[in-house]
Chains A and B, each alone.
Chain A
Amino acid sequence: MVQQISRRVFLKGGMAAAAGVAAASIPGTEALAGPDERKQLATLIDISKCIGCEGCVEACSEVNADNYPDPQKPFPKMVPDRVPVEDWSEKRDVTDRLTPYNWLFIQHADVEINGQEKELTIPRRCMHCVNPPCVKLCPWGAAQQQENGISRIDSDLCLGGSKCKKVCPWDIPQRQTGTGLYLDIMPSMAGNGVMYKCDRCYDRVADGELPACIEACPEDVQTIGPREEIIKKAHALAKEINGYIYGETENGGTNTIYVSPVPFEELNQAIDKGKGKPHLKPVEDTMAQANNLAAAMLIAPVAGIAAAVGKYFKRSKTVSKGA
Chain B
Amino acid sequence: MNQNLANPRVTSLPVRWTYLTTTFFLVLTGFGQMPIFKRYYIADIPGLGWLAEFFVTHYIHYLGAVVLLALAAYLLTDYLMSKRNSRRMTASGWVRMGLLAGMLASGGLLVIRNLAGTNFLPEFIIFMDVTHLGLVMVFLFVSLYCLIFKKHWTTGR
Contact = CB atoms under 8 A, between A and B. Distances in A.
Contacts of B109: 27-28
A1 interface: no
B118 interface: yes
Interface string B60-71: 001101110111
B34 interface: yes
Given A30-B118, A31-B115, A309-B77, A157 B126 contact: yes
Interface of A: 22, 25, 27-28, 30-36, 80, 82-83, 130-131, 136-137, 139-141, 144-147, 154, 157, 161-163, 166-167, 190, 252-253, 286-287, 289-291, 293-294, 296-297, 300-305, 307-309, 311-312, 315
A296 B67 CA distance: 10
Contacts of B66: 293, 296-297, 300
Given A289-B55, A293-B62, A304 B113 contact: no
A263 B1 CA distance: 73
Nearest to A130: B116
Which secondary structure characterizes the binding site on chain B? Answer: helix
Interface in B93-113: 108-109, 111-113
Contact of A301 (B41, B69, B82): B69
B111 A294 contact: yes
A163 B67 contact: no
Contact of B74 (A131, A136, A167, A304): A304
A289 B121 contact: no
A287 B121 CA distance: 20
Contacts of A302: 73
Given A130-B117, A287-B116, A312-B78, 19 more contacts: A25-B121, A34-B116, A82-B39, A130-B116, A131-B116, A136-B114, A163-B35, A166-B54, A287-B114, A290-B58, A290-B59, A294-B114, A294-B115, A296-B66, A297-B62, A300-B70, A305-B77, A308-B77, A312-B82
